[in-house]
Structure 1
Amino acid sequence: MYAVEVERLTKIYGHGETAVTAIADASLQVKPGELVAILGPSGSGKTTLLTSIGLINEPTRGRVILDGTTIADDGWRKGLDLKRVRREKIGFIFQAHNLIPFLTALENVMVALEINGMARREARARATELLEALNLGHRLETYPAFLSGGEAQRVAIARALANRPKVILADEPTAALDTENGKNVMALLKKLAVEHRSAILVVTHDHRMVEGFDRIFDVRDGRIMGER
């Protein structure tokens, strides 16, 4: 089974003469354990594609299937609890780490688990385990303002992994990092994809950051131009 299946996905903003097609007839499939890049320049439609897969941006047409569940079929599937699917099946990593400033690194990961109904003691153990695995065991009680850019992004990755999602979506996760830290984050994502059997899709415009990816989809002017 594929973790992600996208069939002829199209997203159009506006109507009539002012309509803009952000993504057109995009199709892709990603298996569990794969690290896949969506590569293209700014304005090419790659973030629209990612947010449509992630139940943030409703597709105009096309089908999206996550972990065997059809979430969109010419629009959101009727009767589907989008918030629940997003919470249980998807982990997000953004360009800005978006950590809650008044919570410690540990608490930032715990909150994702507690929102999903996990008891506080269990959430603390799970969050600690993840942060230690990402070499942040010495930063558990540190607030975001005192973390380096690379450390903050690793906390964000731990938060994305907290609920063991089948799909992780990363939008320019290395844009705020220098080259060395950026490559370290990408290598970490590759390792996590294999270990957690998660399908990881990474949007990026930086050709330097896609070494070691399993596959790369090139996006131009709202269309997937090819796969390599």
Structure 2
Amino acid sequence: MYAVEVEKLTKIYGKGNTAVTAIADASFRVEPGELVAILGPSGSGKTTLLTSIGLITEPTHGKVVIDGVTVADEGWQPGLDLKRVRREKLGFIFQAHNLIPFLTALENVMVALELNHQPKKEAKRRAEELLVSLNLGHRFNNYPSGLSGGEAQRVAIARALANRPKVILADEPTAALDTENGKNVMSLLKKLAVENHSAIMVVTHDHRMVEGFDRIFHVNDGRIVL
């Protein structure tokens, strides 16, 4: 089973003379354990592609299947609980990491598990396990303001991994980091894709950050070249 299947995905904003096609007829499949870069300039449509797969932006046309579940087919599937699918099958990593400032590193990871109805004891155990695996065992009780940029992004990665998602979507995860930390994060994502058998799709505009990726999707004016 593929982790992600996209068929003729199209997203159009506006109507008539003001219509803008952000993504046009995108079709591809991503396997579990595969690390894919979505590369393109600002405004090319790459973030729209990511948010359509992430069940945030409703496609205008086309089909999206996540881990065997058809989530969109000429629009969202009627009756499908998108929030539940998002919680159970998807993990998100953002450029600004979006950690909750009044929660510790440990609590920031726990909250993802508790929102998915994990008991607090199990959520704490899983969060500790993840942070230790990312060399953050000494940062359990630190608030985001007390973390370096690279540490904060690793906490965000731990949070994305918390519910063992089949697909992880990362939007410019290294943009706020220096080159060394950025490459460390990308190497970590590659390692995690293989170890967790998760498909990881990374939006970036930086060609330097995609060394070692399994595939690169080039996006330009809404068109994808695999």
Fold shared, TM-score > 0.5 on shorter chain: yes
TM-align CA RMSD: 0.4
Matches within 5 A, 1:63-82: 63-82=63-82
Q: Distance in 2 between matches of 1:142 and 1:16?
A: 52
Gaps of 5+ in 1: none
Q: Distance in 2 between matches of 1:4 and 1:115?
A: 24
Give 1:152's aligned residue: 152
Q: What amino acid is aligned across from residue 209 of structure 2 in structure 1?
A: M
* Pair 1:15-2:15 in alignment: yes
Q: Distance in 1 between matches of 2:166 and 2:93?
A: 14
> C-alpha offsets along residues 4-37 of structure 1, whole Å, 9 cap, x if unaligned?
0000100000111111100100111100000000
* Pair 1:193-2:180 in alignment: no
> C-alpha offsets along residues 153-184 of structure 1, whole Å, 9 cap, x if unaligned?
00000000000000000000000000000000
Gaps of 5+ in 2: none
Normalising by structure 2, what TM-score? Answer: 0.99
Matches within 5 A, 1:96-175: 96-175=96-175
Q: What amino acid is aligned across from residue 40 of structure 2 in structure 1?
A: G
> C-alpha offsets along residues 41-90 of structure 1, whole Å, 9 cap, x if unaligned?
00000000000000000000000000000000010011100000000000
SS of the residue 2:103 aligns to: coil
SS of the residue 2:21 aligns to: strand
> C-alpha offsets along residues 182-216 of structure 1, whole Å, 9 cap, x if unaligned?
00000000000000000000000000000000000
* Pair 1:6-2:6 in alignment: yes
- How many residues are paired up? 226
SS of the residue 2:24 aligns to: strand
Normalising by structure 1, what TM-score? Answer: 0.99
SS of the residue 1:44 aligns to: coil
Q: What amino acid is aligned across from residue 161 of structure 2 in structure 1?
A: L
Give 1:55's aligned residue: 55
Q: Distance in 1 between matches of 2:215 and 2:22?
A: 22
Q: Distance in 2 between matches of 1:83 and 1:122?
A: 22
Give 2:93's aligned residue: 93
Give 2:211's aligned residue: 211
Q: What amino acid is aligned across from residue 138 of structure 1 in structure 2?
A: H
Q: Distance in 2 between matches of 1:210 and 1:86?
A: 26
Give 2:39's aligned residue: 39
Give 2:222's aligned residue: 222
Q: What amino acid is aligned across from residue 96 of structure 2 in structure 1?
A: A
Matched-pair identity in %? 82
